[in-house]
Amino acid sequence: QIDEAKAAASVDNLRSPICCILGHVDTGKTKLLDKIRQTNVQEGEAGGITQQIGATYFPMDAIRQKTAVVNKDGKMEYKVPGLLVIDTPGHESFTNLRSRGSSLCNIAILVVDIMHGLEPQTIESLNLLRDRKTPFIVALNKIDRLYDWKPIPNNGFQDSLAKQKKSVQNEFKDRLEKTTLAFQENGLNAALFYENKNMGKYVSFVPTSAHTGEGIPDMLKLLVTLTQQRMAEKLMYLSELECTVLEVKVIEGLGTTIDVILSNGVLREGDRIVMCGLNGPISTNIRALLTPQPLKELRIKSHYVHHKEVKAALGVKIAANDLEHAIAGSRLLVVGPDDNEEDLEMEVMSDLEQLFSKVSTSGTGVAVQASTLGSLEALLAFLKSSSIPVSTISIGPVYKRDVMRAGTMLEKHKEFAVMLCFDVKVDKEAQAYADEVGVKLFTAEIIYHLFDAFTAYKKEMTEKKKRESAANAVFPCILNPVAVFNKKDPIVVGVDVVEGSLRIGTPIAAVKKNPITGEMETISLGRVTSIELNHKAIPICKKGQPSVAVKIEGPNQPLYGRQLEEKDTLYSLISRVTIDTLKIHFREEVSKEDWQLIVNLKKVFNIA
């Protein structure tokens, strides 16, 4: 009898798995969610689908109804009490959120547009899911766009396909094959769900249409089957508290609130809670636990229903004091009677501290700002694999003070005076300030877009620097004049290049003893503006080439016959600055011989 009571209690205590939906933009994530939320009027209200905070709850009754068309033999088992689907589609960072080491998301739907196949964000999502070891299915959406598709609303896919023309079936087969291949190229084996014999080894493709509802029953059935198969039994029972902050929001009349997903355990009004904050741990008491008012109750003034107690899994808004600096993505812990609050504070802060430990210790690098702990972590991992150093990190919207911090790079490492902002808003004043001082802000909702933009920017900076420093890039040469064609303004001389190479733009000088002071003196002639070989202009003349006619222009030129004589050897005019410029920006273009020549010229010009 006691055993029976226990069993009954545990059935009651089963918790619902949490499902995330992700994929490339415009694949139909929002539409799919809308479609599964829709209640079927003819079949009566699909019982109890509830809109929660940041999530929608589908009780098993609703799922049973929605999957009836593909469960005609009644063999499908419904063991979990329902499914909690996180509402913000495409929010990669949620997949990356963790609560107590396990992923917040128990199962995921990766949506792919069957007409487009794999897209960049699909691959990013794939990698996230793989890293987190999250089980997932792939919805091949928009099948109604196959040419000549005849829809049968809300039908099972296999039946719908069987009723299509041969040409439609062939196009489907063709696209399926292409996508399968593309997944394979990304290291993932996948198979059409009803041909998949091993769900542990192969990911299932389930063709869907968010417009006609076809395939959605299959998708739901597959989700339930896969969770029941893959989720560890213990995960399905209410146990230790697992709770994650999704968003921090200011609500009129409530102040700053946090939207949380309670993935396991129970929360009660008045509970003492602890979470990670930007300025240190936050400990406070739950003032109110709120979920949205059901649609039909819209006449009621308050937007929210208050709860004394809520049980996993669900999305709920928490009102409490001191939430202003709460961090999205943080774990939320409840201080139990045997807990030491300080220990819990240390525990929640460790997630952020672990990220801070990834910041470059030299203090040189880009600034990184993201919406949540999870997205920040994903972005840092990405930057690390791309060898981009990071100097500071932060979470939440970008304000002027963040730009000021990034601006400290302007002086020494301009290429790092950059902020990579992932999925965050940039305050107007912050943007204006960034434009003013020259801090570059990159914002994107896709990590690899940030990376691409930054890489392109860095390349452009290098090129620009090279261009800017070109005037200071003086390649060494020694010239023997053989004729003077024009004595001044401009000087035109015939020369042999006896060492190094002479280029357009090279500054030229002679070094002579001053007849009055007796000291060695550098006489600057100006810069080379043209080099002609047999009356043909050339950009460069190397040692050993025939004599060339060189035009040299510049202010206050010396005069041949006065300060200069034809026999005076001419040199490229080098200095400490020109040597450093070559070292920094043109190292690859300077030969060993050139470096040796520079050493010799240093003596000529008396450079230390």
Site residues (vs ligand GDP, CB under 6 A): 25-31, 89-90, 141-142, 144-145, 209-211
Residues in the chain: 608
Report the residue number, 105 or 509, with the smaller CB distance to ligand GDP. 105
Q: How far is the CB of 394 from ligand GDP (least distance, A)?
A: 27
What residues contact residue 432 under an 8 Å CB cut-off, 6+ apart?
A: none
Cis bond upstream, residue 326 (ω within 30): no
Smallest gap from residue 413 Cβ to ligand GDP (A): 37
CB closer to ligand GDP, 110 vs 335: 110
User: Which letter does DSSP use for residue 104 in this model?
Assistant: S
- Using the minimum distance from each CB to ligand GDP, give the nearer residue, 27 or 581: 27
Least distance in angstroms from the C-beta of 31 to ligand GDP: 3
Residue linked to tokens 């202003």: 324
3-state secondary structure (DSSP) of residue 322:
coil
Structure tokens at 163: 């009723």
Least distance to ligand GDP, CB of residue 277, Å: 32
Whose Cβ is closer to ligand GDP: residue 275's or residue 446's?
Answer: 446
Smallest separation (angstroms) from ligand GDP to the CB of 113: 8
Cβ proximity of 428 and 421 under 8 Å = no
We find the least distance from the C-beta atom of residue 116 to ligand GDP, in angstroms, to be 11
State the minimum distance, in angstroms, from the CB of residue 112 to ligand GDP: 10
HEC string of 210-278 equals: CCCCCCHHHHHHHHHHHHHHHCCHHHHECCCCEEEEEEEEEECCCEEEEEEEEEECEEECCCEEEECEC
Neighbours of 346 (CB within 10 A): 13
Nearer to ligand GDP, 121 or 283 (CB): 121
User: What does each C-alpha distance from 370 to 110, 113, 362 come to in angstroms?
Assistant: 23, 27, 22
Please report how close the Cβ of residue 34 comes to ligand GDP at its closest, in angstroms.
8
- The verdict on whether omega for the bond into residue 490 sits within 30 degrees of 0, i.e. cis, is yes
Distance, in Å, from the CA atom of 332 to the CA atom of 273, rounded to the nearest integer, reads 7
Q: Judged by CB, which is closer to ligand GDP: 111, or 333?
A: 111
Angle at 251 between CA 248 and CA 255, to 5 degrees: 80
332 sits in the region (left: phi over 0; alpha: psi -120 to 50; else beta) called beta
**Closer residue to ligand GDP in complex, CB, 30/524:** 30
Nearer to ligand GDP, 25 or 471 (CB): 25
CB of 131 to ligand GDP, least distance (A): 22
Report the nearest approach of ligand GDP to the CB of residue 88 (Å): 10
Which residue's CB comes closest to ligand GDP?
28
Rounded to whole angstroms, the Cα distance separating 320 from 255 reads 8
Residue 207 CA to residue 352 CA, distance in Å, equals: 40
Which residues touch 449 (CB under 8 Å, ≥6 apart)?
Answer: none
Closest to ligand GDP by CB, 216 or 333:
216
Closest CA to 59 of 229, 171, 285, 220: 220
Tell me the sheet residues that pair with 307.
Answer: 289
CB of 121 to ligand GDP, least distance (A): 10
Q: Identify the CA nearest to 68 among candidates 217, 215, 258, 231.
A: 217
Q: Which is nearer to ligand GDP, 171 or 271 (CB)?
A: 171
Shortest Å, Cβ 77 to ligand GDP = 28
CA distance 205 to 111: 10
Q: How far is the CB of 92 from ligand GDP (least distance, A)?
A: 12
Q: Pick between residue 123 and residue 484 the one whose CB is nearest to ligand GDP.
A: 123
CB within 8 Å of 561: residues ≥ 6 apart: 487
Find where tokens 């004043």 sit. Answer: 429
Contacts of range 70-75, beta carbons closer than 8 Å, 24 or more positions apart:
70/156, 70/217, 70/218, 70/221, 71/221
At position 276, the amino acid (one-letter code) is C
The residue behind tokens 């035109």 is 492
> Measured from the CB atom, is 29 or 98 closer to ligand GDP?
29
- What are the φ and ψ backbone dihedral angles of 312, each rounded to 5 degrees? -65, 155
Least CB distance to ligand GDP at residue 213 (A): 9
The nearest distance, CB 122 to ligand GDP, in angstroms, is: 11
First to last CA, the chain: 97
SS3 state of residue 114:
coil
Q: What is the DSSP letter of 294?
A: P
Measured from the CB atom, the residue of 91 and 221 that comes closer to ligand GDP is: 91
**Closest among 388, 389, 358 to 373, alpha carbons compared:** 358
